Amino acid sequence: MTEHLDYEVEEHRRAWVDRKIASVMGDDHKARHGEYGRLLDGVTRTAALEAVAAGHRHNDTTGRYGRNVFDEMLAAASVPIDHLRYAFAPSWDDNSGRVWSHRHYVLSDVTAKPEQRAKMVPQFQRPEIEEVVGRYVAGTVKSAEADRVFVDVMVAMEFYQFADSVLNAPHIPILAPSAWKRRPITDWIFGRFMSAVAGYLGYLLFWFASKAFFPERWLWIVGFILTGLFFLEATWSLIMLPSEWIKVRAHQKKVTLYLDQMNGLYRSLASDGPISARHISELVAKSTDVGVIWPATLHVLLEDIMARGGRF
């Protein structure tokens, strides 16, 4: 397939892209240079090359009912980009021209302060995005530009959401501890302190409520029994503290390994040059072997890319 379009065909394609951008975002001249404009330009160029290779011309109406097959192929190429853009519409300005671009600081975004994190972390609509990618894989018009953005967004979605669920999980010692944020020694001290305070206050209430009905000596005996149980529990939990610390550290190391694997894979997608789908697939398989779970749609997309040449 030729890699170049003649002047008339290229002018027709550019005019089609301009009309498409105007229909979506108005007459903002900056839109062509935004994410939407760049992606649309790339996918329609690939579609135009395929149309020319198949014998369709920009000025022919050879389709059914006199439709222009060339323009239909351009439109088909743009559909996945439109759908992906709409998947982010609830969190992005409809006229912003944004679709998706590679993020370079995922972990920094996730660990930022809450007010900053709300602006930096994309609001992924997982069902919609997976449906868009599934339709793209099932479609007939493909392009390296669309391949790249879909692989990137699928990896980023899993990376962002996993990192956020782990690193920003609420941590309330004893009641709702976060495995990532747990500090066994500190939690043990805090737990014993809270138990002592709660037990003391509870015993005082019991004392004043019961002293009219029971001899004072009995109340002191109850107090000594409760104190003994407290120290017995504290001693046992102290004995078990090393094993608990080992469990927590093992879990935290596993999470760190997952994050490292996901970060390494995502950084491999930052290249400005061609990317090997086989290499990315191998990194996905490697991270899967250690426990990372990727969306099934990502595996299908990579297999589809490899079947079409393996580069994007």
Strands (DSSP E) along the chain, which ranges? none
Whether 210 and 81 share a structural domain = no
Q: Kindly report the number of other CB atoms within 10 A of residue 56's CB atom.
A: 18
254 is a domain residue: yes
**65 confidence band (pLDDT: 50, 70, 90):** very low
Whether 152 and 208 share a structural domain = yes
109 is a domain residue: no
268 is a domain residue: yes
Tokens 């006199």 belong to 66
Whether 50 and 131 share a structural domain = no
Alpha-carbon distance 45 to 58, whole Å?
Answer: 13
Whether 289 and 152 share a structural domain = yes
Whether 201 and 54 share a structural domain = no
Whether 67 and 168 share a structural domain = no
114 is a domain residue: no
Does residue 311 sit in helix, strand or coil? strand
Q: Which long-range contacts (CB under 8 A, 24 or more apart) does 103-107 make?
A: 103/156, 103/160, 103/266, 104/270, 106/156, 106/159, 106/160, 106/163, 106/263, 106/266, 107/163, 107/167, 107/259, 107/263
Structural domain that includes position 81:
1-99
pLDDT tens-digit map of 180-230: 777 777 777 877 888 888 888 887 787 777 777 778 777 788 888 888 888
In the predicted structure, residue 89 carries a pLDDT above the cut 60? no
105 is a domain residue: no
Whether 128 and 84 share a structural domain = no
111 is a domain residue: no
pTM of the model: 0.76
Whether 174 and 286 share a structural domain = yes
| C-alpha pair distances (Å), 40 with each of 31, 252, 310 | 11, 42, 21
Whether 66 and 130 share a structural domain = no
pLDDT tens-digit map of 103-112: 999 999 999 9
Last residue of a domain, one of 99, 127, 146: 99
Whether 169 and 251 share a structural domain = yes
257 is a domain residue: yes
Last residue of a domain, one of 50, 66, 99: 99
Structural domain count, the chain: 2
108 is a domain residue: no
pLDDT tens-digit map of 237-256: 888 888 888 888 888 899 99
Whether 89 and 157 share a structural domain = no
Say what the pLDDT of residue 66 is.
46
Whether 43 and 181 share a structural domain = no
